[in-house]
Amino acid sequence: MPQLLVKIEPNMAKNDASFLLDTYSLKILLELQRDARQTVAQLSAAVGLSPTPCWKRVKEMEAAGVIRGYTALVDPEKVGLHLTVMVEVNLTHHSEELVQRFEQAVAASPHIARCQSTTGQADYLMTVLAPDIKHYERLLHETIFKLPGVTHVRSSIVLKEVKSEIALPIGQLLAPPGPRP
């Protein structure tokens, strides 16, 4: 089997070590993204390794932070979160202290499911989940407008989710190099 190596650089803030992912490790990640509840026997059979080296690789990737954790995917609609809002936020200025306060406040807000610092017209893009528009309006006034440094907020209500993929495209790393269609 040809070796494909992906070097994971150390994260100096976390003191992580450098880590190499070969073809087997990438296959393990692909399988775990497909079904993280499978047994080591099932996982090892799917990737073509015996159970002990397979389990050792999983543990090494967990220790290196390549695998950050395991979770259940919950359908927001089925738990009463019927409204998804994409929120663009701009800050008054970008001092380190203000950015840190803003990001800490966002991290503490459970209705903000995702927040990304971006380039372009908005400083941040957030995904907010709420039961309905009335709850979102209250969240706007009680939380989002009061976040440190917020000067501008633009909300876009999601009408339909076309694609929501959590799994990373690791399979592309396993594809042989060459022209893609």
My answer on whether 64 and 82 are in the same domain is: no
Q: Is residue 175 part of a domain?
A: no
Domain count, the chain: 2
Place of tokens 């990304």: 116
98 in a structural domain: yes
110 with 55, same domain? no
What is the average per-residue pLDDT within 5-19?
A: 53
Owning domain of residue 45: 6-71
The verdict on 40 and 101 lying in the same domain is: no
Q: Under 8 Å CB-to-CB from 158, ≥6 apart: which residues?
A: 83, 84, 85, 86
Residues 82 and 153 in one domain: yes
Could you tell me if 148 and 105 lie in one domain?
yes
Which residue bears the tokens 């399988």?
31
* Same domain flag for 56 and 81: no
One-letter amino acid of 69: G
Q: Which of 169, 177, 176 is nearest to 33 (CA)?
A: 169
Assess whether 66 and 84 both reside in one domain.
no
SS3 label, residue 154: strand
Please say which residue of 71, 105, 120 terminates a domain: 71
Sequential DSSP letters for 77-103 = GGGT--EEEEEEEEES---HHHHHHHH
In this structure, are 92 and 48 located in the same domain? no
Give the mean model confidence (pLDDT) for residues 155-176. Answer: 90
- CB-based burial of residue 144 (10 Å sphere; 0-12 exposed, 13-18 middle, 19+ buried)? buried
Residue 159 φ/ψ, nearest 5 degrees: -80, -40
Domain-located, residue 173: no
| pLDDT tens-digit readout, 62-73 | 999 999 999 999
CA dihedral 94, 98, 104, 106 (to 10 degrees): -60
Q: Which two tokens stand for residue 92?
A: 């008054």
Domain annotation covers residue 10: yes
Q: Which of 40, 71, 102 is the last residue of a domain?
A: 71
Question: Is 111 part of a structural domain of the chain?
Answer: yes
Q: What is the pLDDT of residue 157?
A: 98
The string of pLDDT tens digits covering residues 109-159 is 999 999 999 999 999 999 999 999 999 999 999 999 999 999 999 999 999
3-class state of residue 107 by DSSP? helix
Answer with the residue of higher pLDDT: 11 or 53: 53
CATH number of 60's domain: 1.10.10.10
Please tell me the pTM assigned to this model: 0.80
**Domain of residue 141, CATH code:** 3.30.70.920
User: 81 and 67 in one domain?
Assistant: no
pLDDT (tens digit, 9 = 90+) per residue, 64-101?
999 999 999 999 999 999 999 999 999 999 999 999 99
The pLDDT of residue 20 is: 82
For residues 149 and 98, the answer to whether their CB atoms sit within 8 Å is: yes
